[in-house]
Amino acid sequence: MSTLPLVALRGTPREQGRQHGEALRDRIHHNVELYLHRFATDARLTREEVERRAAAYLEVFTRQSPPYREVMEGIAEASGRTLPEIAMLNARYEILYSAYSAIGMAEAAGECTAFAAARTVTADGHLWIGQTWDWIPDVRGALLDMEEDGLRILAFTEAGIAGGKIGMNSAGIGLVINGLLSNLDDWSRLGVPFHLRTSGILRSRTMSEAVAQATEGVHACSANFLIARGTGGRPGGAEEVIDLETSPGGWVSLTPSDGTLVHANHFLEPERLPSGSRCGRSAPPPTNVATEWSGCSPSVPLPGRSRRTTWRPCCATTRDGRIPSAAIPTRVCRRRSARRPSSPC
């Protein structure tokens, strides 16, 4: 099992992009070629169609977040890939998920599992969130250590994707995610891109700001955002946990039951979505899915939303009340499957 590289990013958006592109150059080249292949084989899209969709989303990034575009420009310059190719990576969620919905890939089993466990039910008295990231096994990732306007952010990303997708910040905000599918998913809505939303959440200082980043504006495709806020070192600070199931037709919020919340790649409450929506419902989380970044022993099932348990962390925790990055009852493991090499997540 390889170790994820840790890349420190400082300076202006363009400077951070160049640092990203230089440090992860080989991984970015790999991801561009890998996704071009998967767009053709999984999504059944021609190269010309992929380029057309990427160009449309480059305009979306430019209009909605000039700093994000500047990061992408820096990544392109330092990695030796074109800006449209980097835009393609950053819009890969919309390109793939709308294609999955269009061709009926709604019943994939064994995907990402995200969770939150309140400090009232954890053995160490900390709020824990975490997830498995069961995506294309050969995608190359990295950890980004970013600092912007006094806010420190630690996040996982795919090499070439700006901003981060799973992680935490020094204000105590933590984010884990799940891909979702519905019949309403359509890239051509050109809504706020998924990776721009995750980047915005990770740069939020309050829960209300994070929720707005996840829910406001047009959604081209469905997605789930599990957001938590620890005490952040604030004396007497209260923890907050909310799960947001979003789709082009609207969004609903879920909260923990008995101190825990678990979410996989299906809508937990599809009946609350607008009339006419049909949701892809994956099989329940298997008992042998896994984290990609930690060594694991034999796995056990995750507890249900209403099952009481004492959760014990399996990874390093912090001591100041901020949100650690992963935890499970003992451990949850993902092993590469020769029969099913990848799943939507």
> What is d(CA 227, CA 175) in angstroms, rounded to the nearest whole number?
5
SS3 assignment, position 190: coil
| All structural domains of the chain with their residue ranges | 6-103
Quick count: other Cβ atoms within 10 Å of Cβ 307? 13
Crossing angle (nearest 10°) for helices 92-103 and 25-41: 20
> Is residue 46 packed enough to be buried (19+ CB in 10 Å), middle (13-18) or exposed (0-12)?
exposed
Return the amino acid letter for 326.
A
Q: What are the DSSP calls for 64-125, one per residue?
A: H-HHHHHHHHHHHHHHT--HHHHHHHHTHHHHHHHHHHHHT-----S---EEEE-TTTBTTS
Q: What's the predicted TM-score (pTM) here? A: 0.81
Let me know how long the chain is. 345
Using alpha carbons, select from 135, 163, 132 the residue that is nearest to residue 332.
Answer: 132
Q: Which residues pair with 146 in a beta bridge?
A: 9, 153
**Tens digit of each residue's pLDDT, the chain (345 residues):** 468 999 999 999 999 999 999 999 999 999 999 999 999 998 899 999 999 999 999 999 999 999 999 999 999 999 999 999 999 999 999 999 888 887 765 544 346 889 999 888 888 888 999 998 888 889 999 999 999 999 999 999 999 999 999 999 999 999 999 998 888 899 999 999 999 999 999 999 999 999 999 999 999 999 999 999 987 555 556 789 999 999 998 899 999 888 889 998 888 877 776 644 555 543 333 322 222 222 222 222 333 333 334 444 444 333 333 333 333 333 333 444 444 444 444
